[in-house]
Amino acid sequence: MCPPGLGCSRCCSEPEATPLRSDIHDRAARKFYQQGEVMNAAFIRSCCLAFGAAALAAAALPARAEWPDKVIRIVVPFAAGGSTDLIARKIAEGLGQRLSANVIVENRPGAGGTVGTEYVARQPADGYTILMGSVSTHGSAPCVYTKLPYDALKDFTPLTVVATIPNVMSVNKSVPASNLREFVALLKKEPEKYSFASNGQGTSNHLAAELFKSTAGVSMVHVPYRGSGPALIDLVGGQINMMMDVVMTSYPYIKDGKIKALAVTSPQRSPMLPDVPTVAESGYPGYEAMVWFGMLAPAKLPEPLRAKLTDALVQTLHAPAMKTYLEQQGAQVSDVAGPAFGTMIKSEIDKWCGVVKQAGIKLD
């Protein structure tokens, strides 16, 4: 019932509560509800404590480690001891000091550099695997192999060109020519009489010679070797007449007068051979056939990591000691990096594929 004189709609609309029959029942009910409130409060407190403990534990976890926090590998797709390997080891030393990290060189030779190159293409894009690529792996290989196990453009993130090295065209001492013009005259006078060596079918110095043949309109017999060492020995011995090879390997023979240097294949003269003109100076403007090395990571390397790694490499390469070392090898440090390096690779592929097509070279 509503209290007298109040007429409250809520009270009047609800049925009158049935009174408890005894004080015992009353006390039992109050105790029951009080216990429920205590249990609810305890449950809430336990939840709060649990969430608080979880938050503290999360805060206590170490922050995500910043790159680099483990070994960085520079993969060289050629055997240990060669020019690519030696330059890579020098870079690894400088890069490790700059990043305060352990940087090692890992050689994975085979199939003209394609084995190690494919290996890097299949690695995670996490900044811990770098390829010491070259004109062979990313310039000529896409042209001479129809079943190349990697895409030179799509499977890599270009970081920076390391250095460029000119080839030098040298002839045996018995060849009656003291400059490139005289040598071309001999080749045109007696086609197919003269031979040239290379490090192997489809290698960069083979293609450099093929490019020269088409540029000068001459013909020579190609004799492929298994590396420049035996080829240079036969050039000195007179078994072959001409060879194009990087300055650093030919220089000792030129210096000792065992072979004659006719021209270098770079746009400018080589500091190691300042008296030897370029092919362009010798009457063939536009001719250029450089050997280059470059650092590449697997495709889809995150941009912040790409920028950081590229910057560290560029600083390493431009350190005075590194520049001096490269110059002693006949190499010049390059300023081409990032997207510009990618553009350069595409240009190199277009150039050498044209040479390969004209010469009819295929390795598979």
3-class SS at 199?
A: coil
Which residues fall within 8 angstroms of residue 268, CB to CB, at 6 or more apart?
Answer: 278
Q: Is the peptide bond prior to 339 cis by the omega test (within 30 degrees of 0)?
A: no
Extended strands (E) in the chain: 72-76, 103-107, 129-134, 156-172, 195-198, 221-224, 242-246, 259-264, 290-298, 332-333
- What domains are defined for the chain? 72-164+291-359 (3.40.190.150), 166-264 (3.40.190.10)
- In this predicted model, what pLDDT tens digit does every residue of 241-291 receive, in sequence order? 999 999 999 999 999 999 999 999 999 999 999 999 999 999 999 999 999
* Amino acid at position 176, single letter: P
- In this predicted model, what pLDDT tens digit does every residue of 42-83 receive, in sequence order? 554 554 445 555 444 444 444 456 999 999 999 999 999 888
Does the model's pTM come out above 0.85?
A: no
Instruction: Report, as an integer, the average pLDDT of 326-334.
Output: 92
